[in-house]
Amino acid sequence: MKSKHLTAVLATVVALTTVTACGTSGTTTNNSTSTAPSGGSGTSTTTLNIGLSADPPKLDPSLSSALVDREVMINIYDTLLQLGSDNQIKPDLAKSYTVSPDGKTYTFTLQQGVTFQDGTPFNAAAVKFNLERDMEKISPRHAALAAVASIDTPDDSTVVINLKKPFSPLLSILTGRTGMMVSPTAVQKEGKDFVNNPVGTGPFQFKERVKGDHITLVKNAHYWQSGEPKFDTLTYKIFTDPNVEYMNLQSGAVQIVDAVPAQQLQSLTQNSAYSVVNKPGFGYQGIWFNVKSGPFTNQYLREAVDQAINRQTVVDVVLKGEGTPGYSPFSASSPAYNASEDTPPTPDATKIKQLLTQGGQPNGFSFTMQIAASPVTAQMAQVIQSMLAQYGIKMEIQQLEFGTLLANSENGGFQAMQLGWSGRLDPDQNIYSFFYTGGPLNSANFSNPQVDQLLDKARTETAMDQRAQTYSQVMDILHQQAPYAFLYHQHNVIAYTNKLQGFEYVSDGLIRAGNLSMK
């Protein structure tokens, strides 16, 4: 019965995404035709309906591992620091901070008079409680705070974080889930059930949810930022099929969505009733090569595959503008972006032949690539398959459900695997664990002492230009050793009706609803 369901679902998803027409990219908004929902079933000035492409599993920042959780959490919780629309780190619950010259002591001064939605005061003790909760082993935040030695609270509005060694990513980490502050009282009261009854200091408070269907938040009447929020109610509606989500935007059932099917991007961009944001996020997609077993223990064969893929074609054919070709973990939105390191090579037949010969397989070889069972990934794999075939490299495609894929990535049960990363603001969080010897996300089992040393060095450097230079040295080695073929940077795509005002795009791609209102 189970496998029947699985195949049925996969079949539908594949079929659904092939139902519709085509188009190519654009960056922002407007002009020509306008087809907006006329009556607007559900368009109201007091309720905002937001379409989400997945059901957020956990609304507790300390336990969350799915990216989509943040969409809802960013409106329930405030963060200690926040990412501005100009990509700069700004104060939020912490109104200022200082870093000691040795980079080992961070002192934060907190906003005063802020309370959690359950009335608990927000203070230094609450911050310490939150950070210590994130440092527990079962928290996915654990690794991000591994450098913390101790947390002091000299007074109610001052928090001092003492580090074991300098760790420059800390500030950007505090703009994400690690920086989201939950009410200690609510955690103590609800225990394990806090995840289903989240309480923060944010503009909206949790009201109810039906798993797989919707999540309702209501206005936090005592929000500390004056004038916010403007809506009384936020309803997140879950659509597991992107075409269904798109239709619900058009029907007016939702006013803003977190994804647009690639085939629909162009027509929606040209529709003057909607605004479309389509910009690179912090993440990347690519292919892991298992360097410990199988054909890819051979560096030349890894390089041959890496060189044979034309990224521009992949992006044009498959993503239709919802991605940018890439060759590094750092997209144009990243503070460590380096255009020359991020520009992928154009396939050069002579060079690829030469690499194959050096690898002892002048006439090509065979391997299997595991991919997640999604229509976009499958299409991409087929495009790559045909590119490699030109050089006699025979790639078999094995589609796996995501849980299985993750398990294989963990235990090295693959030859090549398409697996990407959703991306974080700080460059360290997009490279360190992936290429450091024994790193938890190092699926290739890659190990290079020089890379390890450079990655450690970057963590201690405070100036971003300096760090960017160090990362560029890492990239030179990674390009040459090719444990991972970087393919592209996926875009954050957000579309909303033009009746909605106050939307401000931030590179993390989240929909912050505090300032949104309806015309």
Partner 1 sequence: MAYVVKRLLIMLPVLFIVSVLVFSLIHLIPGDPAQVILGQDATPSGLAALRAQLGLNEPLVMQYLHWVGRVLQGNLGHSLVDGTPVLNLILQRLPVTLELALGTFIVSLLVAFPLGILAAVYRGKFGDTVALFSSSLGLSVPPFWLGIILLLAFTVKIHLFPSSGYVPIWQNLGQNVWTMILPIAATGVREAAVLMRMLRSSLLDVLHQDYIRTARAKGLVGWLVIVRHALKNALIPVITTGGLQLAGLLGGLVITETVFSLPGFGSLLVQSIFSRDYTTIQGAALVIAVLVVVVNVLVDLVYGLVDPRIHFGKESA
Q: Which residues bind partner 1 (CB under 8 A)?
A: 1-2, 4-6, 8-9, 12, 15-16, 19, 37-39, 41-42, 55, 57-58, 63, 65-66, 137-143, 192-193, 195-196, 210-214, 237-241, 243-244, 247-248, 250-254, 401-404, 406-408, 410, 413, 421-422, 440-441
3-state secondary structure of 371: strand
Minimum CB–partner distance for residue 21 and partner 1 (Å):
12
Beta bridge partners of 205: 218
Residue 294, sorted as left (phi over 0), alpha (psi -120 to 50) or beta, turns out to be left
Contact between residue 199 and residue 186 where contact means Cβ atoms under 8 Å apart: yes
Beta bridge partners of 91: 81
Tell which residue, 260, 195, 201, 184, has the closest CA to residue 82: 201
Minimum CB–partner distance for residue 482 and partner 1 (Å):
21
Minimum CB–partner distance for residue 102 and partner 1 (Å):
27
d(CA 201, CA 215): 18
Minimum CB–partner distance for residue 431 and partner 1 (Å):
14
Which CA distances in Å does 281 have to 74, 330, 361, 431? 17, 9, 38, 15
Q: Is the C-alpha dihedral spanning 91, 97, 101, 106 positive or negative? A: negative
Minimum CB–partner distance for residue 269 and partner 1 (Å):
18
Minimum CB–partner distance for residue 251 and partner 1 (Å):
4
Q: Which is nearer to partner 1, 223 or 289 (CB)?
A: 289
Q: Are strands 416-418 and 285-289 parallel, antiparallel or unpaired?
A: antiparallel
Minimum CB–partner distance for residue 288 and partner 1 (Å):
12
Contact between residue 400 and residue 381 where contact means Cβ atoms under 8 Å apart: no
> Whose structure tokens read 């073929």?
485
DSSP string across 231-291: -SEEEEEE-SSHHHHHHHHHHTS-SEES---GGGHHHHHT-TTEEEEEEE-S-BEEEEE-S
Q: Which is nearer to partner 1, 6 or 125 (CB)?
A: 6
Residue 454: count other Cβ atoms within 10 Å of its Cβ. Answer: 21
d(CA 421, CA 400): 17
Minimum CB–partner distance for residue 211 and partner 1 (Å):
7
Minimum CB–partner distance for residue 398 and partner 1 (Å):
13
Minimum CB–partner distance for residue 283 and partner 1 (Å):
11
Q: Which is nearer to partner 1, 374 or 473 (CB)?
A: 374
Minimum CB–partner distance for residue 332 and partner 1 (Å):
23
Minimum CB–partner distance for residue 392 and partner 1 (Å):
32
Burial class (CB in 10 A: 0-12, 13-18, 19+), 276: buried
The conformation of residue 332, written as its DSSP 8-state character, comes to: T
Minimum CB–partner distance for residue 139 and partner 1 (Å):
7
Residue 267: count other Cβ atoms within 10 Å of its Cβ. Answer: 16
d(CA 124, CA 110): 7
What is the 3-state secondary structure of 422-467? CCCCCCHHHHHHHHCCCCCCCCCCCCCHHHHHHHHHHHHCCCHHHH
Tell which residue, 507, 438, 421, has the closest CA to residue 175: 507
Q: Which helix (H) or strand (E) holds 89?
A: strand 89-91
> Whose structure tokens read 């595991």?
370
Q: Which is nearer to partner 1, 57 or 84 (CB)?
A: 57
Q: Which is nearer to partner 1, 441 or 518 (CB)?
A: 441
d(CA 285, CA 314): 12
